[in-house]
Structure 1
Amino acid sequence: MKDNFSKQAAEYSKFRPQYPDELIDYLVSFVKSKSVALDIATGNGQVAQQLARFFETVYAIDISQNQLDNAIPSDNIIYKVAAAENTFFKNQEFDLITVAQAVHWFDFDLFYKEIYRILKPDGLFAVLGYGLFSTNEDSDKILRNFYYNIIGPYWDAERKYLDENYKTIPFPFDEIVTEPFVNHFTWSFEELIGYLETWSATQHYFSKNNKNPLDLIYDELKISWQKNNKKVLFPLLLRIGKLK
């Protein structure tokens, strides 16, 4: 698994959008037993925090200690450094395993072999994520140009799975048909820029060119943002499966 986010863990924790409670409530409604859950590639622990409302114990793992250092502590969450494809858990340990906005970074064959090992026979596995957001028409033109043209060449190849709304990832499970969800925010300009700076392609551009690609659109985007409604809409991605 790639680690694209350790260097910016604090920004990631601050600016990455949360998943709505409605989505987590919906996911958990399919789970029979609520003893132990696992959130893989937990990052700042946002999904683990939400799962902690329902489960007696939540394990949350990430390959980045820096990310875990920025995660919010909770009495029933156990944070550990571990790779998604090679965990230290016992066989058939979890009622629910989640991975949010990260499955596209994994070695699918190794990862799913591990899921089949550590998930209980009647447990559930869920992939969560969010696609490219949209906003007002004026700002969208600027942001689409930034996404596809300015930093387009700097996205990792795995990003295509998100662009395809996780519909093309391997998913070797008996899948449960799910309802669509959308997340709505009203963002200040600082929140917008903060989020764009957490994109891996933004960071790759900066590393390669030693300058921030957001400087190329900053002034135009700021004018556009201030004169419009500042609303942001994220299509949410959710796939739930049982062991075959």
Structure 2
Amino acid sequence: MKASIDNFSTSSAQYAQFRPDYPTELFEYLYSRVSNFDCAWDCGTGNGQVALTLAERFASVQATDLSANQIANATPHPRVHYGVCRAEASPFSAQQFDLITVAQALHWFDFAAFNQEVKRVAKPGALIAVWGYGLLTINAEIDLLVQQFYTGVIDQYWDAERHHIDEAYANIPFPFAAIEKRTFSIEKHWNLAQLCGYLGTWSSVKKYIQQHGEDPLAALYPQLQKQWPEDAVLSVRFPIFLQTGIV
């Protein structure tokens, strides 16, 4: 079995502060395909962003992550039950869930083992929904700098699994019925410090710092500053790719 990867425990609080959340339209689409709202599982929950939204509709939400630090930084909610476990070996009983979600985490999993676990814990006819988001866009000048940083400066510091994000999960096995693919977008309004805070959550940036003892954002920041109007708040957009299926 493929070993699970935990790239986020050392930056859990930063992750909770800067990682973007997901639009209402995405959740409304999921709810339109769900028949019962008894119990959902948000796998790879991170700081609980998705779980908290699901709790607005579901009677109970199980939210799990490999990282104990991520769970420690998650926001409490009376209907969200947090736990630490591998995605491929959960503690849940068979046929427990009406909806299973994985947001920006599937590429870290052992695909075959996770798909078997989904089939074990999902109710017949339950919905499985997996999604992720690609590289942000702001404007032509800033986008070019971020793209050069992404594909040049830190490219070799990404884990191999990152290519699945660039491919919008097109080559990850998804052995479920009635498969549908949709696209959505995240829009945030950030100042330059918030953008750099988000870039600092990238696992590749963390690995660069570990290997070189310096932050690669230190060189990028003044380049961005030249293209960023002083004290401005700019629109930042992330493309979301979503795939759903019936278990």
- For Structure 1 versus Structure 2, the TM-score category normalised by the shorter chain is over 0.9
Tell me if 1:239 matches 2:243: yes
Amino acid at match of 2:200: E
Kindly report structure 1 stretches of 4+ aligned residues shifted beyond 4 Å.
none
Cα displacement (A) at 1:223 = 2.1
Structure 2 alignment gaps of length 5 or more: none
Amino acid at match of 1:235: P
Q: Distance in 1 between matches of 2:229 and 2:216?
A: 20
Alpha-carbon distance change, 229 to 137 in structure 1, aligned in 2, over 3 angstroms = farther
Q: Distance in 1 between matches of 2:29 and 2:182?
A: 9
Aligned partner of 1:134 among 116, 134, 137 = 137
Aligned partner of 1:10 among 4, 9, 13 = 13
Q: Please give the root-mean-square deviation of Cα atoms over the aligned residues, in Å.
A: 1.2
What is aligned with 1:162? Answer: 165
Tell me if 1:217 matches 2:227: no
What is aligned with 1:101? Answer: 104
Tell me if 1:121 matches 2:133: no
What is aligned with 2:234? Answer: 230
Cα displacement (A) at 1:242 = 0.9
Q: Deviations over 1:56-83 (max 9, x none)?
A: 0000001111101111100100001111
Map 1:69-108 → 2, pairs under 5 A: 69-108=72-111
> Are the counterparts in 2 of residues 175 and 239 from structure 1 also a CA contact under 8 Å?
no
Q: Distance in 1 between matches of 2:72 and 2:228?
A: 33
Identity over aligned pairs, percent: 45
> Are the counterparts in 2 of residues 40 and 98 from structure 1 also a CA contact under 8 Å?
yes
Q: Distance in 2 between matches of 1:21 and 1:113?
A: 29
> Are the counterparts in 2 of residues 136 and 229 from structure 1 also a CA contact under 8 Å?
no
Count of residues in correspondence between the two structures? 243
**Structure 1 SS opposite 2:129:** strand
> Are the counterparts in 1 of residues 180 and 245 from structure 2 also a CA contact under 8 Å?
no
Cα displacement (A) at 1:229 = 6.5
Amino acid at match of 2:105: A
Amino acid at match of 1:231: S
Q: Distance in 1 between matches of 2:23 and 2:132?
A: 12
My pick for the range that moved more, 103-112 or 179-188, is 179-188
Aligned partner of 1:36 among 21, 34, 39 = 39
Amino acid at match of 2:243: R
Q: Distance in 2 between matches of 1:222 and 1:6?
A: 30
What is aligned with 2:179? Answer: 176
Q: Deviations over 1:141-190 (max 9, x none)?
A: 11111000000010100000000111221111114324421121211111
**Structure 1 SS opposite 2:10:** helix
Tell me if 1:110 matches 2:113: yes
Q: Deviations over 1:189-214 (max 9, x none)?
A: 11100100001111111111111011
